Amino acid sequence: MDGNGRWARERGLPRIEGHRRGAEAVRACTAGCLEAGVKHLTLYAFSKENWQRPPDEVKSLMSLLDRFLAERIAEIMERNIRLRAIGHLQDLPEKTRRRLDEGIARSAHNTALNLTLALSYGARTEIVDATRAIARAVQAGTLAPDAINEETVTNALYTAGTPDPDLLIRTSGEMRISNFLLWQLSYTEIVVTPKLWPEFSKEDFFAAVREYAQRNRRFGGV
């Protein structure tokens, strides 16, 4: 979800205005998923690296997240969306973490769409965490090193139990992965749109899905 800052700058507004509008754009994207029958949507909302931003911006982003969780939970329930989160959630402010846990618990039985927020998320950190968990199992004698396979790693990641993404949409024209789901994206189709995240609409979502539908996925085959 990139381009909030640029969207604001283009309009002579403070960056936080861009983030505020960006939080609105989430609605368009989830609505698109519900209409198209997409079962999993993961939003890269805040990266492990984003903590390096100026303290004021970090604080504003956290209070936006807090408001998002407080204000949208009714809508999430009404739309039968299951809220989930991946990342170092322990890094979040305590109040926000509690709200998040509440939303996750309340929506745990919803079935229309799995909406995963990546928060304080970094893919390399995720792989390090998985490696530690695997190493501990080896040390405990419950796992033989030669028994470690791709499935072992997949199941040790935060995303265990969720299918690998079919489509990655990157907004604001940036051509990079930025430490997002590195393992899981191995065969994901990537669509880059020049649209800045705050102006990303349901139509843009459908356009990306249409582009995805034209791709010929071979997974290394012919």
Based on the residue annotation, tell me whether 50 is a catalytic residue of this protein.
Answer: yes
Based on the residue annotation, tell me whether 4 is a catalytic residue of this protein.
Answer: no
Q: What does the per-residue mask of binding to ligand IPE show for 139-178, with x meaning CB under 6 A?
A: ---------------------------------x------
Q: Does 3 bind ligand IPE (CB under 6 A)?
A: yes
Beta bridge partners of 191: 169
Give me the least distance between CB of 22 and ligand IPE, in Å please.
6
Distance CA 213, CA 171 (A): 19
Give me the least distance between CB of 197 and Mg ion, in Å please.
9
SS3 label, residue 44: strand
Q: Which amino acid is at 37?
A: G
Residue 2 dihedral angles phi and psi, to the nearest 5°: -110, 150
Distance CA 67, CA 62 (A): 9
End-to-end CA distance of the chain: 33
Q: Does 50 bind ligand IPE (CB under 6 A)?
A: yes
Q: Does 92 bind ligand IPE (CB under 6 A)?
A: no
1 binds, among ligand IPE, Mg ion, none (CB under 5 to 8 A by kind): ligand IPE
CA distances from 152 to 127, 131, 159, 183 (A): 12, 10, 12, 12
Give me the least distance between CB of 46 and ligand IPE, in Å please.
5
Task: List, in sequence order, every beta strand (DSSP E) within 52-170.
Answer: 81-86, 113-121, 167-170
Q: Give the footprint of Mg ion on residues 2-21 (CB under 5 A).
A: 2
Q: Which residues of this chain interact with ligand IPE, rule CB under 6 A?
A: 1-6, 22, 46, 50, 61, 172
Q: Which residues of this chain interact with Mg ion, rule CB under 5 A?
A: 2
Question: Annotated catalytic sites, by residue?
Answer: 2, 50
